[in-house]
Amino acid sequence: MQLKHQSPNYYIRRRLLRNYPAVAGLAIIILASLVALLGYAIMPDDSPNANDGAIQLQKQMPGFRATMLKIRKNADIEDRSWLGELAFGQPSPYLLEPITDYRIEDLKVYIKPFGDQQEKVYDLPGVVLALFIGDHQQSNFPNNQNTVVEGDIVRYLNVAGEEEQISKAALVEKFREENLEERFYLLGTDKSGRDMLSRLMYGARISLSIGLVSVLVSLLLGVTFGALAGYFGGWADNLIMWLMSVVWSIPGIMLVIAISLALQSRGVFVAFIAVGLTMWVDVARVVRGEILSIKEKLYIEAARAYGLNNRQIIWGHVLPNLAGSLIVIATANFAAAILLEAGLSFLGLSVQPPTPSWGIMIYEGYHAIGTQNSWHLVVFPAVAISLMVLSFNLLGNGLRDAFDPKTLIK
């Protein structure tokens, strides 16, 4: 009977796919990555940073519903392209006011605000239309007004100062179609009345992007320094090992704080650099140890005999044999980067409000602990962080076993 020979990658895939916890972790990571990539296209609140909220709806519990009165802003809000909206969101042309009831009488909108029994009155044209604000004495509108009612016709100045008109019936119909909205908050609202689900979804983009960039930075530095130390040895090895020992002796969070203070800046870019610079030592130690073993192999001696230079040997024959180890450590570092970024956001050293980050959301919920309807402000972002870290750790353990040829295939 002739045995069928398979490539090493075949057995790696087979061992990984038979590891069900690792597959579950991979599925969660893929789902979170899709949410991060699609972003505003699937978020209930597609405004930039999911920041379109109403303070009257603060700390509402999961499953809450509300009727929103959408008051048109007196500004020309440009519609972004699909790609622009996917990346940056679409600014809302409306101001939100939650209501419990309303009625229309003689071009006036009478509303009962949410949580307040006192009735408020708005001019219907001011709610529905984007009107001109400023000095328009040259127009034929009396007393510097921007609307004039003539029978069944409403004449008004648009945001560009141009005169337009609309019938009363069309104005009322436009109000009912565009200025009333029923909103459902699946995970409730935060302290500013913003949708928790949308902010959690956008937080996935922040956490995964910072994790990805920081892992790439750590791989770039770690592989470079580790390869130099392991392959050349001597004074280069001693110098790089001394540098790694110094960096390793500093607690990661303190190093990030020092980098943030040195750059005199806070935000996503600083988080990219700071988190990446704290994790390269782990990569460098692994790469150095592997290369110390690999460089003594016969095929490396054969490469030298063929006249290949050091760069060709390192990039063409040494580093490709480290792919398995690098994938495993990169997965573990991804989980560590998510935790570190959340800690930095909690301390106010990473992403800045109103950009939603899971760490910032926990910080905001922390200050609301003990008040009414506040448990979900901490629980949901904490579950998101825990689930992502667990998923990466499960995948990392699965990859470690998959790349180990001693692992039995069931």
Q: Across residues 6-14, what is the average pLDDT? A: 80
The answer on pLDDT for 18 being more than 70 is yes
State the pLDDT confidence band at 1, using cuts at 50, 70 and 90.
very low
DSSP 8-state code for residue 115: T
pLDDT at 135 over 90: no
Q: How far apart are CA 401 and CA 82, in angstroms?
A: 42
What distance lies between CA 68 and its chain's CA centroid? 27
Statement: residue 202 has pLDDT above 50: yes
Who has greater pLDDT, 332 or 137?
Answer: 332
Confidence band for 22, pLDDT divided at 50, 70 and 90: very high
Q: Say whether both 90 and 129 belong to one domain.
A: yes
| Residues 304 and 245 placed together within one structural domain of the fold | yes
For the cut 50, the answer to whether the pLDDT of residue 350 exceeds it is yes
Q: Supply 6's token pair.
A: 């398979």
Range of the domain at 141: 64-185
Residues 263 and 282 both lie in one domain: yes
Local structure of 158: helix, strand or coil: strand
Distance (Å) of CA 404 to CA 13, 21, 166, 308, 401? 12, 17, 74, 30, 5
Examine the domain organization and report whether 130 and 220 are in the same domain.
no
Is the pLDDT reported for residue 5 higher than 80?
A: no
Residue where a domain stops, chosen among 152, 185, 218: 185
Amino acid identity, residue 334? Answer: F
**Domain stops at, among 120, 155, 185:** 185
> Taking 50 as the threshold, does the pLDDT of residue 98 lie above it?
yes
Q: Binning pLDDT at 50, 70 and 90, where does residue 410 land?
A: low
- pLDDT for position 4: 63
Pick the range with the lowest mean pLDDT from 97-106, 259-268, 323-332: 259-268
* Among candidate residues 277, 290, 285, 141, the one with its CA nearest the CA of residue 220: 277
To the nearest whole number, what is the mean pLDDT of the chain?
A: 87
- Same domain (yes/no): 305, 344: yes
What local confidence, expressed as pLDDT, does residue 136 receive? 61
Over 80: is that where the pLDDT of 61 sits? yes
Pairing between β-strand 163-167 and β-strand 180-185 as defined by DSSP bridges: unpaired
Out of 194-198, 268-272, 348-352, pick the least confident.
268-272
Residue 54 lies in a domain: no
Residues 80, 12 share a domain = no
345 and 359 in contact (C-beta within 8 Å)?
A: yes
Tell me if residue 143 falls in helix, strand or coil: helix
Q: How far apart are CA 384 and CA 396, in angstroms?
A: 18
Of 156-170, 191-205, 265-279, give the lowest mean pLDDT range: 265-279
Ordered DSSP codes for 59-97:
TPPTTEEEEEEEEEPSS--PPPPHHHHHHH----SEEEE
In this prediction, residue 248 has a pLDDT band, given cuts at 50, 70 and 90, of confident
- Could you give the count of Cα atoms lying within 13 Å of 378 in the half-sphere of its Cβ? 12
In a domain, 3, yes or no: no
Which whole number is the average pLDDT over 329-358?
87
Residue 163 covered by a domain: yes
User: Which residues on neighbouring strands pair with residue 167, listed in sequence order?
Assistant: 153
- Domain end, chosen from 119, 154, 185, is at 185
Helices (H) and strands (E) in the chain, counts: 14, 8
Nearest in space to 164 (alpha carbons), one of 144, 179, 143, 148: 148
> Which CATH number do you get for residue 246?
1.10.3720.10
Q: Choose the most confident range, by mean pLDDT, from 19-33, 120-134, 209-223, 285-299.
A: 19-33
Q: Is the confidence at residue 259, as pLDDT, over 90? A: no
Tell whether 202 and 280 lie within a shared domain. yes
What integer pLDDT is reported at residue 81 of this predicted model? 87
Selection from 71-85, 168-182, 302-316 with the highest mean pLDDT = 168-182
Per the CB < 8 A criterion, the answer to whether 289 and 229 are in contact is no
CB 198 within 8 A of CB 73: no
| 167 plus 200 within the same structural domain | no
The verdict on residue 387 lying in a domain is: yes
**Does the pLDDT value for residue 69 go beyond 80?**
yes
Q: Are residues 208 and 90 both part of a single domain?
A: no
pLDDT of 347 higher than 90: no
Cβ contacts of 126 within 8 Å, gap of 6 or more:
71, 72, 147
**pTM of the full structure:** 0.88
**Total number of domains in the chain:** 2
Any domain includes 55: no
Does the pLDDT value for residue 409 go beyond 60?
Answer: no
390, with CB counted inside 10 A (0-12, 13-18, 19+), is middle
Same domain, 338 and 239: yes
Structure tokens at 316: 């063409």
Higher pLDDT, 208 or 248: 208
312-328 pLDDT per residue, tens: 888 888 888 888 888 88
Q: Indicate whether 52 belongs to any domain.
A: no
Among the residue ranges 13-22, 60-69, 289-298, the one predicted with the least confidence is 289-298
Residues comprising the chain, all counted: 410
- CA-CA distance, 310 to 316, in Å (whole number)? 10
Residue with tokens 């073993």: 293
If asked whether residues 181 and 212 sit together in one domain, one would say no
Least-confidence region, from 9-23, 118-132, 292-306, 355-369: 292-306
